[in-house]
Structure 1
């Protein structure tokens, strides 16, 4: 992990002198993500299928993001992103999971807060950003037997994960329309996390509208607990740029 962070940091220092924002820029947006979940959770070697056994379904997904760009070439720009996912369901275990059997009620809560430091490598009708993201990941799966006084199992994963950051956007001149994508990813020692977004964007004065598709995967082990999940689906967002 340390070698990966050093390599990414070196790449950022090389990229830093090439481009910077011409003026100060601030933006913030809120989005709705209609995501489907698949994958499994592990507890002390036991596995449970989140989709087929627990029948988890999306209750709410919140995503907030903001960035600050400046014309100082040596200092990185800053991007913040917060995502919270809540899913619940009622299902039935096909095998024993952490001493639980039969019908169960389940709830998955997943939150992540990203701090990204990045440089603008290109800044014209083709935009390219490179950077590093520190992701504070906090996930908990609660499974309870659907009987009075039933057993309860909690699977928890927590950690701050360093990730590479890449963003590209292609502007169609004089239209306010652009196409773009963003990616955060890392893979190390059996764990992997990725987060991809592809979108179309329209800007009118200070208003920024986006629609696209987001795919996120987490394969992360924390002591005896493990989450190996994927979420994907369309999203729409609205924001303001200054």
Structure 2
């Protein structure tokens, strides 16, 4: 029965009517994200709070995206995006972490890079828009903690993975105004690990120029060997782009 239900779901997805662009379309944008960071990092049984112990400061992160849509039926549209989070801070460890004992002043930095390749279909394409697809996310993050006395080795916590994620994007257009509102999201949860990333925005388009502003939040709870990052990043963003 479970196999039959799965087959019916797959058949329904395959049979789902898919809209496609009448002409070839391309767009690109650059955005700035004023993000706050919270959460924990772990190496084995040692844990550190990135906000309270390391005092990692908020920062303005740049992100890039581009998409290609085409009129060829059954072939998915393509979206690429890139995000770089670079945050640093100075704090004091409340408890020992890795080889650094508690009570030691430390400098820290987080270097987070991710590239998304999304293949998607336009399920609806009128004043209500809906895209559904899959994202492959190449995630590479490193947290470095250095004690300011120089007495202890530098601690590095690294997570690297390529994650398959479900992708959905919905948008409501107010006809004849260029004004719209929407939400975009990626998500995966498997075997104790989970990643989600969403943004809610308002948008204005004129003469092919796209102005967008909203709120974005990303949460990663991922274990790579004995190293783990459980981090939330969130804050307002703004972007400018073009399409033709």
Q: TM-score, normalised by structure 2?
A: 0.93
**What's the Cα RMSD here?**
1.9
Distance, in Å, in 2 between the alignment partners of 1:83 and 1:11 is: 34
| Aligned match of 1:98 | 98
Q: Which consecutive segments of 4 or more residues in structure 1 shift more than 6 A? A: 6-11
Aligned partner of 1:203 in structure 2 is 205
| Residue in structure 2 matched with residue 118 of structure 1 by the alignment | 120
**SS across alignment from 1:35:** strand
Partner of 2:74: 74
Aligned-pair CA distance for 1:9: 7.9
Task: Look up the SS of the partner of 1:72 in the other structure.
Answer: coil
Matched, 1:143 2:145: yes
1:235 matched to which residue of 2? 237
| Cα gap change, 1:91 to 1:10, in 2 (>3 Å) | farther
Is the 8 Å Cα contact of residues 167 and 180 (structure 1) preserved in structure 2? yes
CA gap 1:184/1:7 in 2 versus in 1, 3 angstroms: farther
Would the alpha carbon gap of residues 114 and 227 (structure 1) be closer, same or farther in structure 2, given more than 3 Å must change?
same
Give CA deviations for 1:180-230 in whole Å, capped at 9, x if unaligned: 010000100000000010000000011000000000000000001100000
Aligned partner of 1:3 in structure 2 is none
CA distance in 1, matches of 2:176, 2:41: 49
Q: TM-score, with normalisation over the residues of structure 1?
A: 0.94
Contact 1:8 1:132 in 2 (8 A): no
**Structure 1: gaps spanning 5 or more residues:** 1-5
Contact 1:41 1:50 in 2 (8 A): yes
Return 230-239 or 53-62, whichever deviates more. 53-62
Is structure 2 residue 34 aligned with structure 1 residue 34? yes
Number of residues paired by the alignment?
237
Unmatched tracts of structure 2, length 5 or more: 1-6
